[in-house]
């Protein structure tokens, strides 16, 4: 699967995309494929502050559970509550309906340090 070029990526397999005055965050196609069938996503609350590199949630599949890491610091302004009942959306559509949180960035220059689609694809050997 190709990783969309309209966003940045982390080595921990999250993507982050600018949208209006905020950023949308999810996990990559590679990550969902490695995890297998996703059964649960634990997300933060609106208003929570997250720190770049720190865990903001947990994703659980039939075989494991992993932390979700924030690509940048900021305040959570929206969470994808559809994932409570439809966690499989992360498997089916990781780059669109499977998004997880929206952040208002503390410092939008942090995003410049993240990987491009091409660099990320290289990391995952695809």
CA distance 117 to 123: 10
Q: Residue 77 is encoded by which pair of tokens?
A: 């302004």
Stretch that binds other proteins, among 10-18, 22-30, 61-69, 105-113 (CB under 8 A): 61-69
Report the nearest approach of other proteins to the CB of residue 112 (Å): 31
Residue with smaller CB distance to other proteins, 45 or 125:
45
E-strand ranges in the chain read 8-9, 14-19, 22-27, 38-42, 49-50, 55-61, 65-69, 74-79, 101-105
> Is 46 one of the binding residues for other proteins (CB under 8 A)?
no
Q: What are the tokens at 84? A: 């409570």
Minimum CB separation from other proteins for residue 57, in Å? Answer: 12
Nearer to other proteins, 46 or 118 (CB): 46
Q: Which residues are near other proteins by CB under 8 A?
A: 40, 42, 60-61, 64-65, 67
């Amino acid at each position: 699967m190709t990783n969309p070029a309209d966003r940045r990526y982390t080595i921990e397999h999250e993507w982050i995309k600018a949208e209006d005055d905020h950023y949308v965050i999810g996990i990559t196609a590679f990550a969902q494929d490695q995890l297998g069938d996703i059964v649960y996503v634990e997300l933060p609350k609106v208003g929570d502050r997250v720190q770049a590199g720190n865990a903001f949630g947990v994703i659980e599949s039939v075989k494991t559970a992993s932390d979700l890491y924030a690509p940048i610091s900021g305040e959570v302004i929206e969470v994808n509550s559809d994932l409570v009942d439809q966690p499989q959306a992360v498997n089916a559509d990781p780059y669109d309906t499977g998004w997880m949180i929206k952040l208002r960035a503390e410092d939008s220059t942090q995003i410049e340090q993240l990987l491009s689609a091409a660099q990320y694809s290289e990391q995952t050997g695809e």
